[in-house]
């Protein structure tokens, strides 16, 4: 199976085809990180189609279900991959008040595909949970995701909670989401913002080198 077959199946929301291709690739011994890269490409097309009003909220929800099903198949293979491939640890989650996760999930896949160990906290995550996870894992990079404008305050509160816990100097914080701009980045106190998953990976790689 060609990579384009998987990308197309995901982009066209053909769940059965996508899962079959993933299974065939895994059985053939293909690198799970390469499969994740194809998944990322397919899901980014889904995101663009949504932005262009070709797909609707129901399509995004279905895409999320497909993404979850693919994850279940690929993650066991990731667990057997050598730790040497891990570049660093990243904590990511949609902040309190936001339940959107398609964009976040694409970033998670992209980071994993590039060798990062990612702790995905999920959606509607309180500042306290981010702080707890930083203490637990020792991760040096934190990603705050938010699709709605009303969660900018949640992002700001999360950054403040990390600072109050005495951890701000130990982590780099990136934010991302449909409405994020440089002004919002300044408002929240984050170190940087990423326009898309590629930006997120570029930032993470830079920060790992700088640490």
Please spell the DSSP secondary structure of 64-82, one letter per residue: HHHHHHHHHHHHHHHHTS-
Q: Which domain holds residue 62?
A: 1-81
Residues 57 and 101 placed together within one structural domain of the fold: no
Neighbours of 99 (CB within 10 A): 10
Predicted TM-score of the model (pTM): 0.70
Average pLDDT, the chain: 88
Question: Who wins on pLDDT, 209 or 78?
Answer: 209
- pLDDT over 90 for what percent of the chain? 53
Last residue of a domain, one of 81, 103, 121: 81
> Are 94 and 123 a contacting pair, CB within 8 Å?
yes
Last residue of a domain, one of 62, 81, 100: 81
Question: Who wins on pLDDT, 182 or 149?
Answer: 182
206 pLDDT higher than 90: yes
Residues 161 and 96 placed together within one structural domain of the fold: yes
8-state DSSP, 123: S
83 pLDDT higher than 50: no
Give tens-digit pLDDT for 12-43.
999 999 999 999 999 999 988 788 778 878 88
CATH code assigned at 11: 1.10.1240.10
Using the CB atoms, write b or e for 107-123: b if 16+ within 10 Å. Answer: bbbbbbbbbbbbbbbeb
Cα 44 from Cα 87, distance rounded (Å): 23
> Are 78 and 112 a contacting pair, CB within 8 Å?
yes
- Coil, strand, or helix at residue 115? coil
């Amino acid at each position: 199976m060609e990579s384009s077959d998987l990308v197309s199946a995901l982009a066209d929301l053909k769940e059965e085809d996508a899962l079959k291709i993933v299974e065939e690739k895994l059985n053939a011994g293909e690198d799970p990180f390469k499969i994740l890269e194809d998944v990322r490409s397919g899901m980014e097309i889904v995101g663009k189609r949504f932005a262009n009003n070709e797909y609707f909220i129901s399509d995004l929800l279905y895409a999320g279900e497909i993404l979850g099903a693919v994850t279940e198949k690929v993650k066991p293979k990731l667990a057997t991959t050598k730790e040497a491939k891990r570049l660093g640890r990243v904590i990511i989650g949609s902040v309190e008040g936001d339940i959107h996760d398609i964009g976040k999930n694409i970033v998670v896949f992209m980071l994993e595909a590039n060798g990062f160990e990612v702790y995905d906290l999920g959606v509607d995550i309180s500042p306290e949970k981010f702080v707890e996870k930083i203490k637990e894992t020792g991760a040096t990079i934190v990603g705050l995701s938010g699709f709605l404008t009303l969660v900018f305050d949640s992002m700001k509160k999360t950054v403040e909670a990390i600072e109050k816990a005495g951890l701000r100097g130990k982590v780099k914080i990136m934010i991302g989401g449909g409405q994020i701009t440089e002004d919002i980045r300044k408002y929240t106190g984050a170190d940087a913002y990423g326009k898309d998953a590629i930006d997120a990976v570029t930032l993470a790689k830079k920060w790992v080198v700088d640490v």
